[in-house]
Structure formats: structure tokens, C-alpha cells
Amino acid sequence: MNSETKDGRYETTDLYFAAYLQVAGAAMHGTAKHGTRVSFVFNSDVVNIDELRTAWFNRSGRVSALDYANTIKNLKHLCHMP
């Protein structure tokens, strides 16, 4: 699930895309639980999410590998919090 909300937020359930967005500079607002699924909520007013999404799918986005790996670990931790 990926969606832009009316209040300038962007939600995704894709852990790896969320990690990319965060490392690329998108400010994460928090998480939202939908049953057993977790959505990562970003402030889309800070960066252009559409440009980052295009770079992600075109494989042209560039982020630090170490930062990306650490962010994945951190987001997985958030998924398993009560």
C-alpha cells in the first residue's frame, strides 16, 4: 500500500522503500498499524516523494549502503514494537 493523504503525508507498507525514503531525506512522521500490517508515514511536504519514487523504480536513487542497512534494522524494530 502506497498512498498520499490529504494532510501532506505519504504512507507505505513497503519496508525497503520506507528505508530508502528515510535515508534519502524524507522525514518519517511515524507508523500506523492496520491489523497486522504496519504503514510508515512520511511528511511529503519536506521532499518530493514522487521524484524519490521514480528514482527508486528506475534504480537511479543513490543512498549510503550502510545508512540504508541500519535504517532497515531500525524500521524492523518499529514493526515489532507492541
Structure confidence by residue, pLDDT tens digits, 49-78: 999 999 999 999 999 999 999 999 999 999
Q: Please report which helix (H) or strand (E) contains residue 74, including its range.
A: helix 65-79
Q: How confident is residue 6, by pLDDT bands cut at 50, 70 and 90?
A: low
β-bridge mates for residue 38, sequence order: 33
Kindly state the percentage of the chain with pLDDT values over 90.
Answer: 71
63, 20 in Cβ contact below 8 A?
Answer: yes
Q: What domain range is 40 assigned to?
A: 2-79
| pLDDT number for residue 27 | 93
Q: How many domains does the chain have?
A: 1
Instruction: Give how far Cα 44 sits from Cα of 4, 17, 69, 76, Å.
Output: 8, 14, 23, 22
| pLDDT number for residue 1 | 65
Mean pLDDT of 10-38: 94
| pLDDT number for residue 5 | 65
What's the predicted TM-score (pTM) here? 0.89
Q: Please report which helix (H) or strand (E) contains residue 21, including its range.
A: helix 15-23
